[in-house]
C-alpha cells in the first residue's frame, strides 16, 4: 500500500480515508464468507475475539475468566468489550458492534499517526532550516496515516475481529503523547499498551528520548559542526540538551496510571484469584509460550520441537534476543527517538511469541513517517513483492496442511520463516538507510562529495 | 544488490569490497539474458525428461501387505452375485417408473446378508459459484434451495460392522447405479460388490466397518456420492421450514419394505454411519469394450489436481497385475501416441542412454522409445486432468474430506456366456477383496507414500521433488530479469541527471531525483495492481452473466468479452489517468512496468504451483516466454537488426498464443481438430471450471489474463 505515497498531491486525503472506511464496512457484512476471525494470521490466543467472548461468558457465570486456558487478555478489556460480545442487533451480522469499535479504533489511530507525522515534519523542517538546507519534503503524516488505513493487514485485523486495533491504538497514543509533549497521555498510552500486550514496555526508551530531547532531528554533532563552520555559535538554533524534568514527570504519571490500572484489575478479579492469577495467565502465558498452535511467528514450531528440559533455556534465549537489541539501537539512533520506536515495534513483532498481521500493520504504518529520510532505501520493490507473496502464500500453505492434508507443518513454517526474514531485511535496510541519510546530511554540511559511502 | 551495482558503477573511487553473495547476484543479473535462455531451455528439456526420470512405484506402508493372504472369495459368493445380477436385469424389476423396485431388491439382498441397511434420499445440488471455496473447509456455506418432490435420488447404503473393530474406522465401496436405465455393466458391478459384500459378512479378520454405497446415478454419479458424503460428514440439523425429501409422499413407499421383510430389525429410516473413512473404492464396469483382454482403468484425479495417496494406487496395481492377471490402464492422451516427433525424441534419449552406458556401465537410465512415448502420453494426460481441476469421477467427492479414493473401471472383453461372467465376477471380486483386506490392515490413515506426484504408467511415477525442478528452472529467470530491468531503469535515470555545484542546489535536485529513483516503481506497481483488480472483476463477471436466462454460450461469451473490455477502459480512465499524468512518462518506463509485471507473474506462478502444480506448469510454459520477451514493438522496429526482427516475430506470435481463449482453441484444435471449434466452447469450458470450483479458473482470470494485458500494453508502449 505504499502506492498511495506519491499520489497524495492529486487525491485528497479525506477521500482515501472515507474509501477505506467504506471498504471495511462492506467487508464487515460478509463475516461468514471470509471467516477471517478463525485465521491463524489474524487471531492469536491473545488477540482472538472469540476467546474474549469465552472469557466474558466465564466471568458472567462467576468463574475465573482465565479458567480453562481460553482467555489470556486483560480483565479491563473484558469489562469494556465483553458486553459487545453478547449484544446483537437483529438482522445484522454478529459482532457488528465490536467491528464498528475496531473501525473507530483504526480511524483514531490513523488520525493520531497523522498528527504525530505533522509534528515530526515540523521538527524536521526546523532542524533543516537551522542547518541551512532548504528542501521540499513530503507530507509524511498524511502518507503514514493512509498507509496505516489502507494497508490490507490493518483491514484484515480490523475486520477479522481481533483486539489488535485497540492494542495498536494504545501504542500510537503513547507515541503521539510523547511527540506532542502531553506527558499524562503518553504515560497512559504506555501503561495501557504494556498492560495489553507486554512487549510495548520497551517503548519507554524512545519515549524518554522524545520527552528528554524532543522529536527526531539530525545528530547534535552536525549542528555543532555547522555552527563552527559559520563561526557563530547561536545557542537558540541548537537542539535542546537532554532535560530530566519531563522524564521524571512521565515516570510519575506512569506510576500513577499503572497503580490505577492494577487497582481496577484487582477489583475486577477479586473473587477469581486476584492479580497474581492475572499475571500468570497473561504475562506468564506470553513469556512461556504455552500455546503452540501455528501462527505467523517462528516460536511455535521451535518450541514444539525442543526437548522439554531445554525449554526454559531457550525461552530465556528467545526473550533476551529482544533485550539484546535494545541498547545498541538506542545508542545509535538516540537522536531519532520516533524511528527508534519504529525499529523496536518491528523487532517485537518479529520475535514476539504470538505475532499477528496486526503488529505488522502497526510498524508499516509508522514507517510512513519517514518517507523523506527513507527515500533512498534499498530493496523496496523486493520487500514489497515479498510481503505480497508471503501474505498470499501463507493461507495457501495453511490450507494445504490443515484442510487438504497433502502438506505438513513444514510448509506453513517455511512461509513463517520467509516472513521473519523479510522483516529482518526491512529493519536492517531501514536502519542503514536512516544512517546513510544522516551521513549524507553531514557531507552536505562539510561540503564533501556525497557518494563516498553506501 | 540492485543499488549496490549501480553505485559501484558510478564510483570513481576504488570499489569497496563487495560480499561474494552480492557479487554472485550482480553476475547473474548482468548476464540475465544468457541465464534466462539456459534456464528456460533446461526447464522445457527437464519436462520432457520426466518420463525417463520416473521411478517404479513401491509399497511404502508396510502394514498394507497386499496379496499376502490367499483370496477367500469362492464360487459360492460368485453365484450369489450372479443371482443379484439376474434379478436386477430381470425385466419385471424395471417395470416401476421410479426405479424403486431395484433399490428394494438391493436392500433386501443386503438385509439377507445381515447388514444394516438404510436409504439416503437427496436432492441433486446444482454446482454453485464459490470463488473462495478453495480457502475454506469443504462443508462451509452450502445454501439450501427450494426443492421440489419431483427430483430426488435414493442411495442405498449397507453397513457391515466389523467383528474385530471398534467401529471407529470404515472402508467405503461405491457402485454407481442408475435404476431407470441401467446397463448390464452397472448390474455387473453391483454383482461384484455384492459377492465381496457377502464374503465380508462371514470373515473374521475384518477390523474396519464396510460401507457399501449404491449411489443413485440418475443425476450424475458425483452428485449422489457428494450428497451422501455431505450428510455423512456434516449432519444438518435443519429447521422444519426447509422442505425435506422425507416429506415427499412417494418416498414413503420405500418403507413398505419393512412390512414384508424378515430381518426388518436391521433396516432403519435414519441415516446410518460408521467410523471415519480410511479409503474408498468406486467400482464400475464398462458396458462395451473393444479390447482383447480384461483391463482395469484407474482414475485418481480429484478437484484441483489433488491425488489420493500413491499407496492406494500401488495396492490396486499390484493385486490386479500380480494376482488377478488384469491389465491396468491409466488415462493417456491418445493423439500423442502417434506423434512422430515424440518418437524421435524418445529415440534420441534411448541412443543417448546407450552411449552413456557404453561409457560407464553403471549409468542405466534409458528407456525404450515406445515406452517413452507411452509414458509421455500418460504424463500429459496426468498433467491435463490435474490442471483442469475437475475430478475425473465420483472419487473426487471423497478427497474433499481428506479420504483417499479411486475409481476402478473394469472393462472386460465382451462375450455373453456364463463362464465369462463368472470369471469376471470372480477376478473383480478377488481384486476388491484383496484391496479391502490390505486397507483393513492399515493402522493409521494413508500417510507414508506420496500425495504429490504425476503418473507416467500405472507402475511408474514422478514425485514432487523431481517435477518441481523442471518448474523451478522454468521460472528461475523471472526474478533475475525483473532485478536486471529494475537496475537498468534506475541507473539510466541516474545518468541522465546533470551535476550542480552549490550545495543547496545539489540537495534540491538530488533529493528530488532520489525520491523518484528509489520509489519510482510505485507508479508501475499501481498499473499492475489496477490490471489485476480488473482481472478479479473479469473473473466475477460470469457469475452475473449466468443469471441471464436463455442465453446461448456464444452470446454469453460475447457479453463477457464486451463487459471485460468496457471495465478495462473504465478502470483505466477512472483510476489510472489522474495518477499517470502526475508523473510524466519517463524513459524506460516500460522497463519498470515489465519488471513489476514479471515479479507479479512470479508470485502468481509460485502460488499456483503450490495449489495445483499442473496448472502452474502449463501456465508457465505459456507465460514465461511472453513475459521475458516483451519489449515495445516500436523499439524493435527502430533498431531494424535481425535480432530485433526475430524478437518482434516471437512477440507477435506469443502475444496471440498466450491469450487464454486463443490458447484454449489452439489446444482444442490440436486434440480434436479445428473443424468444429465454436466460440461458445470456451464459455462452456469456463463454466465447467467454475462450477467445479477449480482454482485454474481463478488462475486464468487473475494471473494469466492480467499478465497478458500487461505484456500487450508493453508491446504497444509509446516510448
Residue pLDDT, tens place only, A387-403: 999 999 999 899 888 88
Q: What is the mean pLDDT of residues A328-352?
A: 92
Looking at beta carbons, which residues of chain B come within 8 Å of A454?
Answer: 3-4, 7, 16
B311 part of a folded domain: yes
Considering the domain boundaries, does residue B214 fall inside one? yes
Q: Is residue B492 part of a domain?
A: no
**Chain B: nearest CA to A73, how far in angstroms?**
28
B353 vs B350: CA distance, rounded Å: 5
Give the pLDDT confidence of B445-473 residue by residue, as tens digits: 888 888 889 999 999 999 989 999 999 99
Do B89 and B429 form a contact (C-beta atoms < 8 A)? no
Residue contacts between A and B (CB atoms, under 8 Å):
116
How far does CA A453 lie from the centroid of its chain?
Answer: 31
Does residue B356 share a domain with residue B288? no
Q: How far apart are CA B701 and CA B695, in angstroms?
A: 10
Query: Phi-psi category of B114—alpha, beta or left, where left has phi over 0 and alpha has psi -120 to 50?
Result: left
What is the rounded CA–CA span in Å between residue A100 and residue A27?
12
Residue A354 · residue A51 · CB < 8 Å? no
> What is the pLDDT, as a whole number, of residue B138?
45
Asked if the C-beta of A91 comes within 8 angstroms of chain B's C-beta atoms, the answer is: no
Phi/psi at B558 (5° precision): -65, -45
Look up the CATH number of the domain holding residue B404: 3.40.630.10
Nearest CA in chain B to A441: B507
SS (H, E, C) chain A: CCCHHHHCCCCCHHHHHHHHHHHHHHHHCCHHHHCHHHCCCCCCCCCEHHHHHHHHHHHHCCCCCCHHHCCCCCHHHHHHHHHHHHCCCCCCCCCHHHHHHHHHHHHHHHHHHHHHHHHHHHHHHHHHHHCCCCCCCCCHHHHHHHHHHHCHHHHHHHHCCECHHHHHHHHHHHHHHHHCCCHHHHHHHHHHHHHHHCHHHHHHHHHHHHHHHCCCCCCHHHHHHHHHHHCCCCHHHCCCCCCCHHHHHHHHHHHHHHHHHHHHHHHHCHHHCHHHHHHHHCHHHHHHCCCCCCCCCCHHHHHHHCCHHHHHHHHHHHHHHHHHHHHHHHHHCCCCHHHHHHHHHHHHHHHCCCCCHHHHHHHHHHHHHHCCHHHHCCCHHHHHHHHHHHHHHHHHHHHHHHCCCCCCHHHHHHHHHHHHHHHHHHHHHHHHHHHHHHHHHHHHHHCCCCCCCC
Q: Smallest Cβ distance to B529: which of A3, A375, A405? A: A3
- Closest-CA residue of A relative to B575 is A11
Q: What is the ipTM of this complex?
A: 0.88
Residues of B in contact with A3 (CB under 8 A): 522, 525-526, 529
Q: Which pLDDT belongs to residue A116?
A: 92
Tell me the chain A residues in contact with residue B7 when contact means C-beta distances shorter than 8 Å: 451, 454
Chain B contacts in chain A segment 9-28 (CB below 8 A)? 9-11
Shortest CA gap A398–chain B (Å): 9
* Contact map slice: A 171-190 vs B, CB within 8 A: none
pLDDT category at A68 given cuts 50, 70, 90 is confident
Total domains, chain B = 3
What is the rounded average pLDDT of the residues A2-27? 73
Q: Which of A109, A103, A116 is nearest to A169 (CA)?
A: A109
pTM of this structure = 0.88
Q: Which of B609, B302, B394 is nearest to A404 (CA)?
A: B302
Asked if the Cβ–Cβ distance from A10 to B578 is below 8 Å, we say: yes
Of A133, A396, A411, the CB nearest to B607: A396
- Sign of the C-alpha dihedral computed for residues B673, B679, B680 and B682 taken in this order: positive
- Of B347, B364, B388, which one is at a domain's C-terminal end? B388
Q: Which residues of chain B have pLDDT under 50?
A: 1-13, 135-146, 239-245, 258-263, 495-515, 578-584
Residue A393 and residue B610: Cβ atoms within 8 Å?
yes
Chain B residue numbers with beta carbons less than 8 Å from the beta carbon of A32 are 140-141
CA dist B636 and B643 (Å) reads: 9
In this prediction, residue A8 has a pLDDT band, given cuts at 50, 70 and 90, of: very low
d(CA B124, CA B144): 11
From B388, B409, B430, the end of a domain falls on: B388
Is B255 within the bounds of a domain? no
Interface of A with B in 397-416 (CB under 8 A): 397, 399-400, 403-406, 411
Structural domain that includes position B341: 333-388
User: Would you tell me which residues 345-404 of chain A have a C-beta closer than 8 angstroms to some C-beta of chain B?
Assistant: 375-381, 384-385, 388-389, 392-393, 395-397, 399-400, 403-404
Continuous H helices in B476-588: 477-495, 503-519, 521-545, 553-571, 577-582
Residue B9 in domain? no
- Regarding beta strands B169-177 and B209-216, do their DSSP bridges make them parallel or antiparallel, or are they unpaired? parallel
Burial class (CB in 10 A: 0-12, 13-18, 19+), B179: buried
Lowest mean pLDDT among A146-160, A296-310, B6-20, B657-671: B6-20
B16/A406 Cβ within 8 A: no
Among A378, A405, A437, pick the best mutation site for testing chain B contact (most B Cβ within 10 A). A405
Packing angle, helices A337-351 and A311-332, rounded to 10: 160
Q: Are B433 and B539 found together in one domain?
A: no
Return the ∠ at Cα B501 (arms to A451 and B517), rounded to 5°.
50
Residues A276, A258: Cα–Cα separation, whole Å:
15
Whether B668 and B635 share a structural domain = yes
Q: Is residue B275 part of a domain?
A: yes
Q: In this structure, are B621 and B543 located in the same domain?
A: yes
Residues from chain B contacting residue A400 (CB–CB below 8 Å): 610-611
Asked whether B658 and B623 are in contact (CB, 8 A), the reply is yes
Cross-chain Cβ contact B607/A400 below 8 Å: no
pLDDT at B408: 93
Residues of B in contact with A134 (CB under 8 A): 504, 507-508
Distance from CA of B578 to the nearest CA of A (A): 7
The answer to whether B226 and B125 have CB atoms below 8 angstroms apart is yes
Distance CA B635, CA A390 (A): 36
A8 and chain B in contact, CB less than 8 A: no
Q: Does B587 touch chain A (CB under 8 A)?
A: no
Asked whether the beta carbons of residue B610 and residue A379 sit closer than 8 angstroms, the reply is no
- Same structural domain for residues B537 and B592? yes
Q: Do both B707 and B642 map to the same domain?
A: yes
Examine the domain organization and report whether B161 and B217 are in the same domain.
Answer: yes
Torsion of CA B440, B446, B449, B453, to 10 degrees: 120
B138 located within any domain: no
Cα gap A42→A34, rounded to integer Å: 12
d(C-alpha B718, C-alpha B534), whole Å: 22
On whether both B188 and B295 belong to a single domain, the answer is yes
Domain extent listing, chain A: 1-221+243-287
Q: What is the pLDDT of residue B125?
A: 67
CA triplet A190, A25, A144: central angle to 5 degrees?
Answer: 45
CB contact under 8 A, B518 and A9: no
Alpha carbon B611 to chain centroid distance? 9
> B7, A138: Cβ pair inside 8 Å?
no
Q: Is B334 on the interface with A (CB under 8 A)?
A: no
Q: Residues B526, B615: one domain?
A: yes
Contact criterion met (CB < 8 Å) for B486 and A136: no
Structure confidence at residue B127 (pLDDT):
58
Q: Are B168 and B442 in contact (CB under 8 A)?
A: no
- How far apart CA A110 and CA A117 sit, in angstroms, is 10
**In the predicted model, is pLDDT for residue A281 greater than 60?**
yes
**B208 and B288 share a domain?**
yes
- Residues in B closer than 8 angstroms to A380, CB to CB, are 518-519, 521
Cβ-based neighbours of B171, under 8 Å, separated by 6 or more: B208, B209, B210, B211, B277, B278, B279, B280, B281, B436, B439, B440
- Whether residue B324 is found in the same domain as residue B337: no
Q: Which pLDDT value is given to residue A172? A: 95
User: What residue of A is the nearest CA neighbor of B5?
Assistant: A454
* A134 min Cα distance to partner chain B (Å): 7
Distance (Å) from the C-alpha of residue B686 to the closest C-alpha of chain A? 23
Cβ–Cβ contact B2 with A under 8 A: yes
Q: Is residue B581 in some structural domain? A: no
Mean pLDDT (whole number) for A120-138: 79
**Mutation site, B444, B511, B600, interface A, largest A CB count within 10 A:** B511
Query: B326 with B382, same domain?
Result: no
CA B549, B552, B553, B557 torsion-angle sign: negative
Q: Which residues of B touch A133 (CB under 8 A)?
A: 503-504, 507
Q: Which residue has the cell 528509489?
A: B518
Cβ within 8 Å, pair A451-B132: no
Residues of A in contact with B522 (CB under 8 A): 2-3, 5-6
Taking only residues 427 to 446 of chain A, the set having a beta carbon closer than 8 angstroms to any beta carbon of chain B reads 444
- Judged by CB atoms closer than 8 Å, whether chains meet at A452 and B486 is answered as no
Amino acid at each position: 500500500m505504499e502506492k498511495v505515497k506519491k499520489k497524495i498531491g492529486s487525491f485528497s486525503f479525506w477521500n482515501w480515508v472515507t474509501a477505506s472506511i467504506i471498504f471495511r464496512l462492506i467487508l464487515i457484512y460478509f463475516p461468514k464468507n471470509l471467516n477471517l476471525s478463525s485465521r491463524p494470521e489474524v487471531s492469536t490466543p491473545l488477540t482472538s475475539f472469540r476467546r474474549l467472548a469465552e472469557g466474558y461468558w466465564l466471568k458472567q457465570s462467576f468463574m475465573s475468566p482465565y479458567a480453562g486456558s481460553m482467555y489470556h487478555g486483560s480483565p479491563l478489556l473484558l469489562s469494556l468489550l465483553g458486553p459487545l460480545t453478547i449484544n446483537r442487533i437483529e438482522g445484522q451480522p454478529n459482532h457488528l458492534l465490536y467491528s464498528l469499535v475496531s473501525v473507530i479504533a483504526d480511524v483514531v489511530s490513523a488520525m493520531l499517526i497523522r498528527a504525530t507525522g505533522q509534528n515530526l515534519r515540523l521538527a524536521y523542517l526546523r532542524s533543516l532550516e537551522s542547518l541551512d538546507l532548504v528542501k521540499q519534503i513530503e507530507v509524511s503524516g498524511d502518507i503514514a496515516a493512509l498507509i496505516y488505513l489502507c494497508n490490507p493487514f490493518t483491514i484484515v485485523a480490523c475486520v477479522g475481529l481481533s483486539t489488535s486495533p485497540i492494542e495498536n491504538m494504545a501504542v500510537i497514543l503513547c507515541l503521539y503523547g510523547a511527540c506532542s509533549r502531553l506527558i499524562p497521555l503518553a504515560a497512559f498510552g504506555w501503561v495501557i499498551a504494556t498492560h495489553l500486550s507486554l512487549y510495548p514496555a520497551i517503548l519507554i526508551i524512545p519515549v524518554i528520548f522524545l520527552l528528554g530531547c524532543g522529536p527526531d532531528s539530525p545528530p547534535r554533532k552536525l549542528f555543532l559542526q555547522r555552527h563552527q563552520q559559520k563561526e557563530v555559535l547561536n545557542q537558540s538554533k541548537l537542539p535542546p540538551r537532554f532535560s530530566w524534568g519531563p522524564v521524571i514527570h512521565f515516570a510519575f504519571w506512569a506510576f500513577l496510571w499503572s497503580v490505577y490500572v492494577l487497582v481496577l484489575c484487582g477489583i475486577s478479579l477479586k473473587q477469581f484469584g486476584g492479580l497474581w492469577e492475572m499475571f500468570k495467565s497473561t504475562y506468564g502465558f506470553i513469556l512461556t509460550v504455552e500455546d503452540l498452535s501455528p501462527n505467523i511467528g517462528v516460536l511455535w514450531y521451535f518450541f514444539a520441537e525442543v526437548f522439554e528440559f531445554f525449554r526454559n533455556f531457550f525461552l530465556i534465549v528467545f526473550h533476551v534476543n529482544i533485550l539484546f537489541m535494545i541498547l545498541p539501537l538506542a545508542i545509535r539512533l538516540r537522536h531519532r527517538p520516533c524511528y527508534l520506536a519504529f525499529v523496536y515495534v518491528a523487532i517485537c513483532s518479529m520475535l514476539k511469541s504470538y505475532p499477528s498481521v496486526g503488529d505488522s500493520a502497526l510498524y508499516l504504518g509508522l514507517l510512513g513517517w519517514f518517507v523523506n529520510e527513507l527515500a533512498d532505501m534499498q530493496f523496496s520493490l523486493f520487500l514489497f513483492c515479498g510481503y505480497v507473496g508471503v501474505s498470499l502464500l501463507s493461507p495457501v500453505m495453511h490450507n494445504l496442511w490443515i484442510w487438504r492434508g497433502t502438506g505438513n507443518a513444514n510448509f506453513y513454517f517455511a512461509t513463517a520463516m520467509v516472513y521473519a526474514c523479510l522483516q529482518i531485511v526491512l529493519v536492517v535496510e531501514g536502519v542503514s538507510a536512516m544512517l546513510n541519510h544522516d551521513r549524507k546530511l553531514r557531507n552536505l554540511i562539510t561540503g564533501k562529495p556525497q557518494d563516498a559511502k553506501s | 544488490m540492485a543499488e549496490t551495482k549501480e553505485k559501484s558503477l558510478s564510483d570513481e573511487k576504488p570499489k569497496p569490497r563487495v560480499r561474494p553473495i552480492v557479487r554472485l547476484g550482480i553476475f547473474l543479473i548482468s548476464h540475465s539474458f544468457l541465464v534466462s535462455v539456459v534456464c528456460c531451455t533446461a526447464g522445457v528439456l527437464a519436462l520432457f525428461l520426466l518420463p525417463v526420470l520416473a521411478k517404479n512405484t513401491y509399497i511404502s506402508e508396510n502394514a498394507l501387505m497386499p496379496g499376502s493372504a490367499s483370496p477367500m472369495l469362492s464360487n459360492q459368493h460368485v453365484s450369489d452375485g450372479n443371482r443379484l445380477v439376474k434379478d436386477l436385469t430381470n425385466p419385471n424389476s424395471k417395470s416401476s417408473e421410479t426405479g424403486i423396485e431395484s433399490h428394494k431388491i438391493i436392500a433386501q439382498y443386503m438385509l439377507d446378508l445381515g447388514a444394516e441397511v438404510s436409504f439416503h434420499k437427496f436432492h441433486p445440488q446444482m454446482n454453485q459459484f464459490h470463488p473462495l471455496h478453495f480457502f475454506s473447509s469443504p462443508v462451509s456455506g452450502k445454501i439450501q434451495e427450494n426443492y421440489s418432490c419431483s427430483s430426488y435420488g435414493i442411495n442405498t447404503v449397507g453397513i457391515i460392522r466389523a467383528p474385530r473393530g471398534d467401529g471407529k474406522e470404515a472402508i467405503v465401496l461405491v457402485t454407481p447405479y442408475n435404476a431407470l436405465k441401467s446397463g448390464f455393466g452397472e448390474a455387473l458391478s453391483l454383482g461384484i460388490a455384492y459377492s465381496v459384500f457377502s464374503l465380508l459378512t462371514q470373515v473374521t479378520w475384518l477390523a474396519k466397518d464396510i460401507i457399501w454405497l449404491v449411489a443413485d446415478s440418475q443425476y450424475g454419479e458425483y452428485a449422489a456420492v457428494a450428497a451422501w458424503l455431505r450428510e455423512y460428514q456434516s449432519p444438518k440439523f435443519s429447521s422444519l421450514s426447509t422442505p425435506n425429501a422425507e416429506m415427499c409422499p412417494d418416498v414413503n413407499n420405500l418403507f413398505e419394505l419393512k412390512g414384508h421383510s424378515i430381518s426388518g430389525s436391521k433396516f432403519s429410516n435414519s441415516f446410518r454411519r460408521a467410523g471415519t473413512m480410511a479409503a474408498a473404492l468406486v467400482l464400475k464396469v464398462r458396458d462395451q469394450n473393444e479390447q482383447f483382454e480384461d483391463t482395469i482403468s484407474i482414475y485418481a484425479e480429484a478437484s484441483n489436481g489433488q491425488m489420493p495417496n500413491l499407496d492406494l494406487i500401488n495396492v490396486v496395481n499390484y493385486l490386479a497385475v500380480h494376482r488377478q492377471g488384469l491389465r491396468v490402464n491409466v488415462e493417456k492422451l491418445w493423439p500423442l501416441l502417434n506423434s512422430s516427433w515424440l518418437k524421435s525424441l524418445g529415440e534420441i534419449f534411448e541412443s543417448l542412454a546407450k552411449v552413456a552406458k557404453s561409457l560407464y556401465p553403471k549409468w542405466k537410465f534409458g528407456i525404450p522409445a515406445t515406452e517413452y512415448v507411452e509414458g509421455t502420453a500418460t504424463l500429459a494426460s496426468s498433467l491435463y486432468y490435474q490442471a483442469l481441476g475437475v475430478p475425473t469421477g465420483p472419487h473426487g467427492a471423497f478427497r474433499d474430506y481428506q479420504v483417499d479414493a479411486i475409481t476402478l473401471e473394469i472393462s472386460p472383453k465382451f462375450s455373453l456366456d456364463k463362464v465369462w461372467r463368472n470369471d469376471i465376477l470372480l477376478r473383480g471380486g478377488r481384486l476388491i477383496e484383496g484391496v479391502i483386506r490390505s486397507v483393513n490392515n492399515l493402522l493409521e490413515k494413508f500417510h507414508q507414500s506420496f500425495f504429490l506426484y504425476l503418473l507416467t504408467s500405472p507402475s511408474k511415477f514422478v514425485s514432487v521433488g523431481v517435477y518441481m525442478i523442471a518448474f523451478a528452472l522454468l521460472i528461475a529467470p523471472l526474478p533475475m530479469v525483473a532485478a536486471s530491468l529494475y537496475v537498468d531503469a534506475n541507473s539510466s535515470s541516474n545518468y541522465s541527471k546533470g551535476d550542480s555545484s552549490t550545495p543547496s542546489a545539489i540537495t534540491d535536485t538530488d533529493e528530488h531525483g532520489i525520491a523518484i529513483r528509489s520509489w519510482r516503481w510505485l507508479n508501475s506497481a499501481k498499473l499492475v495492481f489496477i490490471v489485476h483488480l480488473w482481472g478479479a472483476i473479469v473473473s466475477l463477471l460470469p457469475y452475473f452473466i449466468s443469471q441471464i436466462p436463455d442465453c446461448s454460450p456464444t452470446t454469453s461469451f460475447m457479453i463477457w468479452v464486451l463487459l471485460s473490455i468496457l471495465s478495462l477502459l473504465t478502470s483505466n480512465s477512472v483510476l489510472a489517468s489522474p495518477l499517470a499524468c502526475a508523473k510524466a512518462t519517463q524513459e524506460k518506463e516500460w522497463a519498470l512496468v515489465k519488471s513489476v509485471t514479471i515479479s507479479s507473474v512470479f508470485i502468481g506462478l509460485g502460488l499456483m504451483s503450490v495449489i495445483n502444480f499442473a496448472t502452474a506448469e502449463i501456465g508457465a510454459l505459456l507465460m514465461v516466454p511472453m513475459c521475458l520477451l516483451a519489449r515495445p514493438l516500436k523499439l524493435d522496429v527502430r533498431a531494424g537488426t535481425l535480432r530485433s526482427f526475430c524478437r518482434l516475430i516471437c512477440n507477435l506470435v506469443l502475444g496471440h498464443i498466450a491469450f487464454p481463449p486463443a490458447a484454449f482453441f489452439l489446444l482444442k484444435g490440436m486434440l480434436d481438430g479445428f473443424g468444429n471449434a465454436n466460440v461458445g466452447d470456451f464459455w462452456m469450458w469456463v463454466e465447467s471450471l467454475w462450477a467445479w470450483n477449480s482454482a485454474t479458473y481463478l488462475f486464468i482470470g487473475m494471473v494469466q489474463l492480467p499478465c497478458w494485458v500487461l505484456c500487450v500494453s508493453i508491446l504497444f508502449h509509446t516510448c
